[in-house]
C-alpha cells in the first residue's frame, strides 16, 4: 500500500485581493483529500482558491491550503444541468467548457476567476439575487473534510444543518473538497441589456423596483454626486438572448462571442493617481457616457457580467498600499434612508469610490450568508487613514439601519462591529465550538473576529 506523504509546505507572502494586509505564511498545495487530512492534523488552516476574497478570510493562521490543483470537473448530467467538480475549479473554466453547449451558471459574482469552493464558502450572489437567490440555492451537495480528517457529504436533505452553516461560512466549517451544482440552459452567449439613467437615489430605487421581473439588474452609482443629484445611477438590466434575438449573421453560432483583448496592469500606480479630483472626474465622465449610450443593446456575456476581468491585476490601480472594499446589505424598509446617509457621508468626505455598485437583493433566510431582502452597496477606497476613518462612520450607519456586512469583502472591521451588525454570530461561534472546529479551521479574519 502506497504511503501518503504530507505535501511540502512553502513560505510565501499572501494578501487578499485588496492587497491591504500582507503576511508571510506557510502554504501547501494538496492534490487529494488524503493529503488535506494529513495537513489538517496540525490545525490552524484555511482553504484558499484563486485569492479573490478582498481581505484576510483566505489566509490561514498557521497554514493556507492552495486548492487550485484540485481542479477537475468530474461529471455532468445533461438532463438536469448538474455539474460535479472539485473545489479548485474556476467558474471561468466552467463557462468555457459548458457555454458552447448551452449552459451557464445560475449565479455568478462580478468576476469569473473564483473557484467553486470559494463561491460556496462566500455563498456569492450576483445581479439576479432578487430572482434566483445566491449560489447556494443551486448547490445539491458538498463533500467537506472535517476536523477529524473524514469526508462528510452535506446537502439540503443530508446533514442539512451543516450544509446551511457551510454556505457563507467562509471555510470555517471544514475544507470543501468537491460539490455538485446546477447550471441553467441559455440560448446564446449574449445578453439583451437595457440602461436607465436615474437622476438621483429615489429614481434609482424606483427603477430597480420597476424592473423587478428582469432577470439581472445592477446599478453603477456616482458616489460623489451631491444635492439633487445624490445617488445618481445608471441602472442596467439584462436577459439572456435567444438565437432569434441575434443579428442574422450571428444566429448560426449563437454561443460564439468576441474574444476580448485583455490588459494587464503592469505596476503599482502612484498614490496620486486616485484622488478626489481624478475619481470625481471619472464619475462625471462615466455618467455622461451612460447618458449618451443606447438605451437597449446586445452585449456579450463577458462584457455584461465581468467588465473588470478584462484588466488583469486591476487591483494594482490603487497602488502599493492597496484598497478596501466596503459592502453592506440594508433591509428594504431602511434602505432609502441608510443609502442616503452612506452616500452623503462619502460625498462629504470626498473619498469617492472608483467602483460603486448598487444591487437589489431578494428575500433569503440563511444561517450565515450575507444577503437579506433590500439593497446592497459596494464601494472601493484606496487604503489611507482618511478612508479608514470614513469606513468606521459608514459602519455605524449600517448598524443604525439594521444592516450587515459581506465578509468576503472585509479586511479591517472589528469584532465588536460584526457582533453589533449580525445577531447570528453567537450561534456560529457555538456551532464551531460544539463541533471542535475552531482550532482546526481558522483564518486571519476568523481570528480577528474571535470566531
- Specify whether the CB–CB gap between 94 and 105 falls below 8 A: yes
- Specify whether the CB–CB gap between 59 and 48 falls below 8 A: yes
CA dist 86 and 32 (Å) reads 10
The two domains 68-186 and 190-415 share their CATH topology (first three levels equal): no
User: How many other C-beta atoms lie within 10 A of the C-beta of residue 398?
Assistant: 24
Does pLDDT of 48 surpass 90?
A: yes
Helix residue ranges, H only, 122-275: 129-132, 160-166, 201-210
Which neighbouring-strand residues pair with 14? 23
CATH tag for 190-415 (out of 3.30.300.20, 3.30.70.2520, 3.30.420.40, 3.40.50.1980): 3.30.70.2520
The yes/no answer on whether domain 68-186 falls in CATH 3.30.465.10 is yes
Range name among 28-32, 130-134, 313-317, 415-419 with the lowest pLDDT average: 313-317
CA dist 197 and 214 (Å) reads 16
| Tally of CA atoms within 13 A in the half-sphere of 106 that contains its CB | 21
The torsion angles phi and psi of 259, rounded to 5 degrees, stand at -85, 110
Return the residue matching grid coordinates 438590466: 237
Return the residue matching grid coordinates 467537506: 144
CA dist 183 and 116 (Å) reads 13
Q: Which residues contact 412 (CB under 8 A, 6 or more apart)?
A: 20, 55, 324, 388, 391
pLDDT at 311: 83
- Specify whether the CB–CB gap between 40 and 149 falls below 8 A: yes
CA dist 78 and 205 (Å) reads 39
User: For 427-451, how does the pLDDT look when each residue is reduced to its tens digit (9 = 90+)?
Assistant: 999 999 999 999 999 999 999 999 9
Q: Which cell numbers hold the place of 321?
A: 498600499
User: For 297-349, how does the pLDDT look when each residue is reduced to its tens digit (9 = 90+)?
Assistant: 999 999 999 998 888 888 887 888 889 999 999 999 999 999 999 999 998 88
pLDDT at 106: 98
Q: Which residues contact 119 (CB under 8 A, 6 or more apart)?
A: 91, 109, 135
Question: DSSP 3-state helix, strand, coil percentages of the chain (rounded to 5)?
Answer: 35, 25, 40
CA dist 218 and 211 (Å) reads 10
CA dist 319 and 310 (Å) reads 19
pLDDT at 2: 56
Helix crossing, 335-349 with 385-400: angle to 10°?
Answer: 160
Share of the chain above pLDDT 70, in %: 96
pLDDT at 298: 97
User: For 243-292, how does the pLDDT look when each residue is reduced to its tens digit (9 = 90+)?
Assistant: 999 999 999 999 999 887 777 777 676 766 666 667 777 777 777 877 88
CA 309 distance to own-chain centroid = 13
Q: Where are the domains of the chain?
A: 68-186, 190-415
pLDDT at 352: 67
Which neighbouring-strand residues pair with 103? 185
Q: In a 3-state reduction of DSSP, which class is residue 90?
A: strand
Which neighbouring-strand residues pair with 181? 83, 139
Instruction: Output 172 or 314, whichever has higher pLDDT.
Output: 172
Amino acid at each position: 500500500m502506497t504511503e501518503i506523504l504530507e505535501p511540502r509546505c512553502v513560505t510565501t507572502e499572501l494578501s487578499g485581493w485588496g492587497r491591504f494586509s500582507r503576511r508571510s505564511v506557510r502554504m501547501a498545495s494538496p492534490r487529494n483529500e488524503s493529503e488535506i487530512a494529513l495537513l489538517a492534523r496540525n490545525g490552524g488552516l484555511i482553504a484558499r482558491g484563486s485569492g479573490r476574497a478582498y481581505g484576510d478570510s483566505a489566509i490561514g493562521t498557521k497554514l493556507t491550503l492552495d486548492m487550485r490543483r484540485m481542479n477537475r470537473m468530474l461529471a455532468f448530467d445533461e438532463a438536469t444541468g448538474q455539474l460535479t467538480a472539485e473545489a479548485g475549479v474556476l467558474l471561468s473554466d466552467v463557462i468555457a467548457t459548458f457555454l458552447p453547449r448551452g449552459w451557464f451558471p445560475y449565479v455568478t459574482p462580478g468576476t469569473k476567476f473564483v473557484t467553486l469552493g470559494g463561491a460556496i464558502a462566500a455563498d456569492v450572489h450576483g445581479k439576479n439575487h432578487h430572482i434566483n437567490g445566491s449560489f447556494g440555492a443551486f448547490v445539491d451537495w458538498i463533500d467537506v473534510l472535517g476536523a477529524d480528517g473524514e469526508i462528510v457529504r452535506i446537502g439540503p436533505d443530508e446533514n442539512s444543518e451543516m450544509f446551511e452553516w457551510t454556505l457563507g461560512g467562509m471555510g470555517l466549517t471544514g475544507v470543501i473538497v468537491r460539490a455538485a451544482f446546477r447550471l441553467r440552459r441559455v440560448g446564446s452567449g449574449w445578453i439583451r441589456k437595457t440602461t436607465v439613467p436615474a437622476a438621483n437615489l429615489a429614481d434609482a430605487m424606483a427603477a430597480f423596483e420597476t424592473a423587478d421581473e428582469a432577470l439581472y439588474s445592477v446599478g453603477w452609482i456616482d458616489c460623489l454626486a451631491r444635492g439633487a443629484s445624490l445617488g445618481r445611477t445608471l441602472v442596467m438590466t439584462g436577459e439572456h438572448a435567444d438565437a432569434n434575438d441575434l443579428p442574422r449573421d450571428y444566429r448560426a453560432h449563437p454561443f460564439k462571442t468576441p474574444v476580448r483583448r485583455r490588459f494587464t496592469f503592469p505596476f503599482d500606480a502612484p498614490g496620486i493617481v486616485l484622488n478626489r479630483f481624478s475619481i470625481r472626474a471619472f464619475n462625471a465622465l462615466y455618467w455622461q457616457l451612460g447618458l449618451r449610450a443606447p438605451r437597449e443593446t446586445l452585449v456579450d456575456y463577458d462584457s455584461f457580467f465581468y467588465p473588470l476581468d478584462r484588466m488583469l491585476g486591476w487591483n494594482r490601480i490603487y497602488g502599493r498600499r492597496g484598497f478596501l472594499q466596503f459592502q453592506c446589505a440594508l433591509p428594504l424598509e431602511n434602505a432609502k434612508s441608510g443609502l442616503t446617509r452612506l452616500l452623503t457621508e462619502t460625498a462629504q468626505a470626498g473619498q469617492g469610490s472608483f467602483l460603486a455598485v448598487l444591487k437589489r437583493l431578494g428575500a433569503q433566510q440563511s444561517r450565515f450568508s450575507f444577503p437579506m431582502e433590500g439593497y446592497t452597496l459596494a464601494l472601493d477606497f484606496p487604503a489611507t487613514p482618511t478612508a479608514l476613518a470614513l469606513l468606521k462612520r459608514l459602519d455605524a450607519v449600517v448598524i443604525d439601519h439594521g444592516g450587515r456586512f459581506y465578509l468576503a469583502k472585509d479586511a479591517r472591521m472589528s469584532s465588536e462591529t460584526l457582533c453589533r451588525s449580525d445577531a447570528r454570530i453567537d450561534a456560529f461561534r457555538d456551532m464551531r465550538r460544539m463541533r471542535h472546529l475552531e482550532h482546526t479551521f481558522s483564518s486571519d479574519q476568523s481570528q480577528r473576529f474571535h470566531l
